[in-house]
Amino acid sequence: MGASGLSVNCEAQVLGSLDRLPPFSPILNRLMASLASEDVSFGELAALIEKDTVVAGNVLRLVNSALYGFCGTVSSVRHAVAILGLTKLRNTVMGMSISRVWRAVRTPERWSSARFNVHSVATAILADLLAQRLSAPYPEGAFVAGLLHDLGKLLIAIALPRESALIQALFEAGGAGIEDCEAQIIGVTHSALSGAALRKWNLPQPIQTAATFHHAPEQANQGQLDLSHVIQAADQLAIDLGHSVSPPEHQPQGRSEPLLAALGLTDQVPEVLAQFGPEFDALRGFF
């Protein structure tokens, strides 16, 4: 089979593994739909959360955590919804719900679900914080794009465990980036697979594009500032902070600095990190 045939075959296998993921909960399905501009009200969202005892408990734990610092105890989901606001609540609940799906997936022995989840949530939080400081298109999708940018890596591990191990071994041997290793072994990259998977889930185009081009944002939006630039910078900053999918000792450090400088954010990095720390500490326990 030629290289192009291998690529098509592997892509079909990997995207087919989407059907092996556990079914989404009603609340996650509704939140996915809300990203595609379907309105969701505070009342509807609160009612959905109240029906999911795990999510409801986690939302109340979060709003009563040191991150929000209330003197009293918030015991009502509807009160928590009002405190967090619709966008923050949607991001948080989507993160919690998707992490439950990931944890239920059977993955190869060498795959670290813990590192994958932590990297995903770190990238999501950082992307949201960076997007607030830029004029990139669709900033409200930054958290979700960050959360799902590496979905292709997980799907490769599920569908092609042997090839996934070979990709990781080649990457850890040094000398080539992860996407070069993927292209060499299976003929397709995790970013292309992430974008294709998000298309199948019918997520908004800017989120699909950000996932597809988070390693090559210059190819998106005719080279203009794009959400993919934000995800690239957030991804690398998460790695520089020690939150990587691969073992940290195999990850080059310092790659976020030129990316943040190109976005004009160098001076704002201390403020971003000051905000990131408490939010990450509050959320990572749910992932």
- The domain locations on the chain are 1-18+110-287, 22-104
pLDDT confidence of 90, banded at 50, 70, 90? confident
Mean per-residue pLDDT for 31-55?
79
The pair of structure tokens assigned to 55 is 């999510």
Cβ-Cβ contacts under 8 Å for 104 (sequence gap 6 or more): 22
pLDDT confidence of 2, banded at 50, 70, 90? very low
Cα separation, 10 vs 252, whole angstroms: 28
pLDDT confidence of 184, banded at 50, 70, 90? very high
CA terminus-to-terminus distance, the chain: 40
pLDDT tens, position by position, 228-248 = 999 999 999 999 999 999 888
Task: State yes or no: pLDDT of 1 exceeds 80.
Answer: no
Q: Which residue has the tokens 């090839």?
A: 163
**Which is higher by pLDDT, 285 or 263?**
263
**Do 227 and 145 form a contact (C-beta atoms < 8 A)?**
yes
The model carries a pTM of 0.90
Which pLDDT does position 283 carry in this prediction?
85
Task: State yes or no: pLDDT of 159 exceeds 50.
Answer: yes
pLDDT tens, position by position, 109-119 = 888 888 999 99
Cα atoms found within 13 Å of the Cα of residue 46, Cβ hemisphere only:
14
**Which is higher by pLDDT, 277 or 65?**
277
CATH superfamily for 1-18+110-287 is Hypothetical protein af1432 (1.10.3210.10)
Buried-exposed string 72-110: b where 16+ CB fall within 10 A, e elsewhere: eebeebeebbebbeeeebbbbbbbbbbbbebeebebeee
